[in-house]
Structure 1
Amino acid sequence: MKICIAGAGAIGCTIAARLAHSGQDVNVLARGETLAAIKKEGIKLTDLDGDYQVPVNASESAEELGPQDLIFICTKAPALPVMLEKIQPMLHEKTIVIPAVNGIPWWYFQGIEGRFSGENIQSIDPEGSVSKLLPHKHLIGCVVFITASRQAPAVVKATNPHLIVLGEITNEMTERLESVRHVIELAGIEARATDNIRDQLWTKVAANITSNPLSVVTKGTLEQVYADDRLKPLVRQMLDEVLLTAAAYGARIRFDPHTFMELGAGMGAVKTSMLQDFEAGQPLELSAIGHSVIELANKVGTPMVATQNLLNVTEFIATHHTHLPKAS
């Protein structure tokens, strides 16, 4: 397989390093100082298995990298349309594209029958332009459970076990799905194939929406967000709202709320990706992680009052207080 990682942030570099270390032919679509760092010294990854420094082929030109068999889209949600436009020269008839992007995916109502079948999610893809850039046949859905932080360009530290859950958006179990799962597993990343990727998505959505915005407001780590007695009532209220919305779509989160919050606290003193973005002055993934969930809740008439209020506060802080002073 010719594999490309499109986007060399913390998640992209982690996946690229593990795949390259396992002997796969890995290309990385990157730019700027990250591209320069990769060309000079490769990708440096520290995770639970040790320290790695692996060379990979990197370029800012999709034309230069050429057609790929498997492409992981590892960009932030706001940059997704630009990235999908950029990868077009790498697509061939059987290219598999796996968007490793936070939040409700733009394809949520595609590939299956149902009340909202074929509809666009307005907060993510209002004009349907993203859907047009990538036909259904290329897509495999995924949920990434990798906790990683960027230490420097192309230098990443990951502090928890790696897990990627994969599923066809049609809910079929296919040969190509198993083939991709096997490649990822050989790279030392736990990989699971599922016949209902949307259930798994709701688990990650619940984790993201209950932790990411609140971490920006409080500057708290995952451990603090899920374990501090002053924050737990709010987190539980938001979690209940998400669970109700997921259930309205026929999805099931496999953890009870108490266990869910214990697992969140067990992730340790880790900053969420949204807090990392906030501190770096980057756009926040509020549309994908927050507004899309509110949109889906509104479609089925489930109230998300606590979640909406917190999103409003987070947006205010992101807009007016890019660099908050530290408490004395």
Structure 2
Amino acid sequence: MSDDSISPSAPSAPLRICIAGAGAIGGTLAVRLAAAGHQVSVLARGQTLQAIREHGLTLHDLHGTAHARPAADHRPSFGVQDVIFLCAKSQDMAGLLPQVAPMVGETTVVIPTNNGVPWWYFHREGGRFDGQTVKAVDPEGALAAALPLAQIIGSVLFITAEVESAGVIRSVNPHLMVLGEPSGEMSERLLRVRAAVESAGIEARATDRIRDKLWTKIIANISTNPLSVITQGTLQQLYGLPELREVVSQIMRETLLVASSHGARVDIDPLTFLQLGEAMGAFRTSMLQDLERGRPLELAAIGDAVLEMAERYAIPMPITRAIVSLARFRGEAAQQQRAPQTPAAPQPAARAA
């Protein structure tokens, strides 16, 4: 069943929605959903939390400028929610899931929005690896144990956004969210969430093959994010400059083989994919933004997990592996440069012979 064959459900009543993580994506969702009349709360911390409490959230996107003042706290003080969007980086999920647990009731829907291969990938996958874990993103199985997997709906976000300052987000491209049950079921709760997202002015699609759409986004992520860290290139440069476009194309080809080996049907015309990417303009990938802000890079989910899934079928990925390794080196070097320097211990004075 294709996405287009699924008719949209009727607009739903306002929902209690928590956005866990108010960065570029979380802030975009919070503003749009609040503007649609949903009861939105935000789990945030630090300068972002302070900015939301004092000034609210401001979003500049293709709809214009919108402002929202959602309830905000660093604690899960909002009560049981209908929907929780997990908008943290994949490496931050282990710390986030125990925080949101008190807001999860029997019917709460939990929707991770992070990039790369999700920890729930093999939950009700139906194939030879059904029920297994992706070690790169959940090495000890802590994520799978933190929340009931049955309450997760998968999502793939095609939203480009950037934080201009604490509480202020800018997005210059159309918003699209694809939602799907890990089991492939077209459930009532799936259609209800889809309707809520659509009511917020975000194009929303429900699919019975969410992993196909995951691989589309995974291919986009892995072919550009690590390379952007090495080159400092924008999407326009990565997809447009011949020398970078060739590297992007090789990584795409390697990853497409992994996707098809895992049963995904990825409908990508490489040339069109490259042209659309170039048309996104001088936008910096989320991984490049993290590098520039001194944050850890999301390489486990975007890079290592794909390499792990390639190894399940003994698929070599030489170009991808090299680029991921170089990006990791660049990220670790940047972290070391930003780390506080410990003063060197005084050396004993030299004595004349």
For the aligned pair, the TM-score class normalised by the smaller chain equals: over 0.9
- Residues 182-205 of structure 1: per-residue CA shift (max 9 Å, x gap): 000000000000000000000000
- Residues 79-138 of structure 1: per-residue CA shift (max 9 Å, x gap): 001100110110111100000011000011111321111111111111111001111221
Asked if residue 52 in structure 1 is aligned to residue 66 in structure 2, the reply is: yes
Give SS of 2:312's match: helix
CA shift, 1:55, in A, is 1.2
* Matches for 1:209-248 after TM superposition, within 5 Å: 209-248=222-261
CA shift, 1:323, in A, is 8.9
- RMSD (CA atoms): 1.0
CA shift, 1:322, in A, is 4.5
2:48 is matched with which residue? 34
Distance 1:253 1:56 in 2: 38
Distance 2:158 2:122 in 1: 23
* Matches for 1:109-124 after TM superposition, within 5 Å: 109-124=122-137
Return 5+ residue gaps in structure 1 as ranges: none
2:152 is matched with which residue? 139
Distance 2:157 2:236 in 1: 19
Distance 2:277 2:315 in 1: 24
- After TM superposition, the score normalised by the length of structure 1 is 0.97
Give SS of 2:170's match: strand
Asked if residue 315 in structure 1 is aligned to residue 328 in structure 2, the reply is: yes
Q: Which moved more, 1:249-258 or 1:38-47?
A: 249-258
Distance 1:209 1:281 in 2: 20
Q: Give 4+ residue runs of structure 1 displaced > 2 Å after superposition.
A: 321-324
1:2 alignment partner AA:
R
Distance 2:104 2:142 in 1: 17
Please tell me whether the aligned partners of residues 111 and 136 of structure 1 are also in contact (alpha carbons under 8 angstroms): no
Out of 166, 170, 178, the residue aligned to residue 179 of structure 2 is 166
Distance 2:36 2:30 in 1: 10
Please tell me whether the aligned partners of residues 156 and 178 of structure 2 are also in contact (alpha carbons under 8 angstroms): yes
Please tell me whether the aligned partners of residues 291 and 334 of structure 2 are also in contact (alpha carbons under 8 angstroms): no
2:79 is matched with which residue? 66
1:221 alignment partner AA:
T
Out of 292, 298, 302, the residue aligned to residue 289 of structure 1 is 302
Q: Which has the larger radius of gyration?
A: 2
Asked if residue 187 in structure 1 is aligned to residue 200 in structure 2, the reply is: yes
1:4 alignment partner AA:
C
CA shift, 1:303, in A, is 1.3
How many pairs does the alignment contain?
Answer: 323
Identity of aligned residues (%): 49
1:242 alignment partner AA:
T
Distance 1:222 1:229 in 2: 13
1:155 is matched with which residue? 168
Please tell me whether the aligned partners of residues 279 and 323 of structure 1 are also in contact (alpha carbons under 8 angstroms): no
Return 5+ residue gaps in structure 2 as ranges: 1-14, 338-353
Give SS of 1:231's match: helix
Distance 2:91 2:120 in 1: 15
2:270 is matched with which residue? 257
- After TM superposition, the score normalised by the length of structure 2 is 0.90
CA shift, 1:254, in A, is 1.4
Distance 2:227 2:237 in 1: 10
2:279 alignment partner AA:
G
Distance 1:23 1:110 in 2: 33
2:99 alignment partner AA:
K
Please tell me whether the aligned partners of residues 223 and 264 of structure 1 are also in contact (alpha carbons under 8 angstroms): yes
Give SS of 2:237's match: helix
